[in-house]
């Protein structure tokens, strides 16, 4: 039994009100939607907010809406609802897959897509009880000033552990942020920073309100996840591939890697090598080699980093084959290793 520390829970009825409350309470406040990640982290004293601004009561944050300009997913839509939505499953199978691979079915019923997009970065030296962290010496992500995975490093290397973020990035999604001073819509890459601590580039008062997906228009997508068990585990590697095909020629492509850095890591050279090409086994092998380049996992998740690096190549190749319709037999959307 680990107990939550005391905190004040505020339940605004609108996103604007939530943003104002966040601005008002400043660094003492955090946003919470499903709470599946935040509450356990609070129990371990990884976060110690005095105020939680709850998003569960805000109706405008829930639901999936389709239009000629694409799809809009309210940030507080549960992961189960995203997975089960027939329009999402049809247009963006990688997103439906990724949302359906987050943790366990129970947590997908509670957890939201906005929460998964903003999920805290993880590290074996950080996701531990307060006493454990105290015993080995606090790290810079919380209560300390050193990095235990890369001693001597001036930055934190905690790992982006979202399943949906790399997929949304690959699909060209944008996020609508509503802050106390107004709203803005930014592309997914603009939401993240390459830092294990300050991994989000949004202001603390900004609420992720919607996720905006462009029309599918010929895009195909796939997501593959590496983890030890068939359920429950965070990704220790995620590979999202999206490609717009014209027959068997690639017109446009994005490859984004999850869980290999403090933010989703695009493999831009690899994606560029696909464009204008006919997809063959040889091309896939070359692109997979290129894609594995930007993956720089460190030894701070389950499985060793050399293995995760090696698997990046394999998973990219398989995701590409799936998107190009070249896979033999198995349509597995997940790799449990």
Partner 1 sequence: MAHRIVGKPIGRLDGIEKVSGEARYSGDVMLPGLVWGKALRSPLPHARILRIDTSKAKALAGVLAVLTARDLPDILVGRRMFDMPLLARDRVRFIGERVAVVAALDPDIAEEALALIDVEYEDLPAVFDPVEAIKDGAPILHENPGAYDGAPSERPHPNVQSVLRFKLGDVEAGFRASDRVFEHTFRTQLDHQGYLEPHAGVVGIDEDGRVQVWASNKMPFRLKELLSQALQLPPAQIRVNLTPIGGDFGGKGSVMDLPLAYHLARATGRPVKMVMRYTEELMAGNPRHPAVITMRTGVSKDGRIVARRVKALFNSGAYAAFKPAPSVNLGGTGMGAGVYRISHLLIEAFCVYSNNIPCGHARSPGEPQMVFAGESHMDMIARELSLDPAEFRRRNLLRDGDLLANGHHLEHVRASETLEAALKASHWSEPKPGPWIGRGAAMTHRHIGVGFTNARVRLESDGTVTLLIALPDTGTGAHLVLRQVVAEVLGLPLDEVEIEIATTDDFTTDSGVGGSRVTHTGGRAAYHAAEKLKEQIQAEAAKLGEPASSLSAIAQAAAREGRTLEASHFYDAKAHGAVTSFTAQVAEVAVDPATGQVTVRHFTTAHDVGTIINPIGHQGQIEGGLIQGLGFALMEEMKTEDGQISTLSLGDFKLPTIQDIPPLTTVLLEDAVGPGPFNAKAIGEGSISAVAPAIANAVADACGVRILDLPITAEKVYFGLKDTERRS
- Applying CB under 8 A, among 9, 68, 131, 151 the residue interacting with partner 1 is 131
**Per rule CB under 8 A, is residue 337 in the interface with partner 1?**
yes
Given its phi and psi angles, is residue 177 left (phi above 0), alpha (psi -120 to 50 degrees) or beta?
Answer: beta
Smallest distance, Å, CB 273 to partner 1? 21
Query: Which parts of 205-224 interact with partner 1 (CB under 8 A)?
Result: none
**Per rule CB under 8 A, is residue 314 in the interface with partner 1?**
yes
The Cα–Cα gap between 237 and 122 comes to 13
**Per rule CB under 8 A, is residue 275 in the interface with partner 1?**
no
**Per rule CB under 8 A, is residue 289 in the interface with partner 1?**
no
The angle, 0 to 180 degrees and rounded to 10, between the axes of the packed helices 281-292 and 305-323 is: 140
Count of residues interacting with partner 1 (CB under 8 A): 30
With beta carbons less than 8 A apart as the criterion, state whether 158 and 262 touch.
Answer: yes
Residue 128 or 153: the one with the smaller Cβ distance to partner 1 is 128
Residue 55 or 159: the one with the smaller Cβ distance to partner 1 is 159
| DSSP letter string, 72-110 | EEETTSBHHHHHH-HHHHHH-HHHHHHHHTSS-HHHHHH
Residue 69 or 232: the one with the smaller Cβ distance to partner 1 is 232
Smallest distance, Å, CB 217 to partner 1? 32
Q: List Cβ neighbours of 71 (8 Å cut-off, separation of 6 or more).
A: 64, 65, 87, 88, 91, 92, 212, 213
**Per rule CB under 8 A, is residue 262 in the interface with partner 1?**
no
285 alpha-carbon distance from chain centroid: 26
**In b/e form, how buried is each residue of 94-103, taking b as 16+ CB within 10 angstroms?**
bbbbbbbbbb
**Per rule CB under 8 A, is residue 138 in the interface with partner 1?**
no
Smallest distance, Å, CB 324 to partner 1? 17
Q: Residues 2-31 vs partner 1: string with x where CB under 8 A?
A: xx----------------------------
**Per rule CB under 8 A, is residue 281 in the interface with partner 1?**
no
**Per rule CB under 8 A, is residue 307 in the interface with partner 1?**
yes
Q: Which helix (H) or strand (E) holds 166?
A: helix 164-170
| CA pseudo-torsion sign 252, 258, 263, 268 | negative
With beta carbons less than 8 A apart as the criterion, state whether 253 and 274 touch.
Answer: yes
**Per rule CB under 8 A, is residue 132 in the interface with partner 1?**
yes
The Cα–Cα gap between 305 and 327 comes to 27
Q: Which stretch binds partner 1 (CB under 8 A): 193-201, 251-259, 277-285, 304-312?
A: 304-312
Smallest distance, Å, CB 45 to partner 1? 10
**Per rule CB under 8 A, is residue 134 in the interface with partner 1?**
yes
Q: List Cβ neighbours of 322 (8 Å cut-off, separation of 6 or more).
A: 222, 224, 241, 331
Give the footprint of partner 1 on this chain (CB under 8 A): 1-3, 104, 124, 127-129, 131-132, 134-136, 228-234, 302-304, 307, 310-311, 314, 335-337
């Amino acid at each position: 039994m680990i107990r939550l520390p005391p905190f004040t829970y505020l339940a605004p009825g609108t996103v604007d009100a939530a943003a104002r409350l966040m601005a008002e309470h400043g660094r003492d406040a955090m946003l919470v939607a499903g709470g599946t990640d935040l509450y356990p982290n609070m129990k371990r004293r990884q976060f110690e907010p005095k105020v939680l601004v709850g998003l569960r009561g805000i109706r405008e944050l829930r639901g999936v809406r389709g239009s000629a300009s694409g799809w809009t997913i309210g940030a507080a839509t549960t992961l189960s609802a995203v997975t089960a939505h027939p329009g999402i499953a049809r247009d963006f199978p990688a997103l439906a897959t990724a949302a359906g691979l987050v943790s366990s079915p129970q947590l997908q019923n509670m957890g939201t897509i906005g929460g998964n997009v903003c999920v805290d970065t993880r590290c074996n030296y950080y996701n531990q009880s307060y006493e454990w962290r105290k015993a080995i010496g606090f790290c810079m992500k919380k209560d300390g000033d050193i990095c235990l995975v890369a001693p001597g490093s001036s930055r934190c290397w905690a790992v982006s552990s979202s399943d949906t973020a790399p997929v949304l990035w690959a699909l060209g999604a944008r996020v609508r942020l509503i802050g106390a001073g107004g709203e803005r819509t930014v592309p997914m890459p603009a939401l993240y920073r390459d830092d294990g601590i300050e991994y989000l580039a949004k202001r603390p008062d900004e609420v992720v309100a919607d996720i905006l997906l462009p029309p599918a228009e010929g895009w195909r997508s796939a997501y593959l996840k590496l983890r030890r068990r068939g359920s429950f585990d965070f990704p220790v590697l995620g590979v999202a591939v999206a490609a717009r095909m014209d027959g068997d020629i690639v017109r446009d492509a994005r490859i984004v890697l999850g869980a290999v850095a403090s933010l989703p890591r695009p493999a831009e050279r690899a994606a560029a090598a696909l464009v204008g090409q006919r997809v063959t086994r040889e091309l896939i092998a070359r692109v997979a080699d290129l894609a594995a380049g930007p993956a720089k996992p460190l030894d701070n998740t389950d499985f060793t980093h050399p293995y995760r690096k090696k698997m990046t190549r394999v998973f990219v190749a398989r995701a590409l084959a799936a998107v190009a319709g070249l896979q033999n037999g198995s349509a597995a959307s997940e790799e449990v290793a």
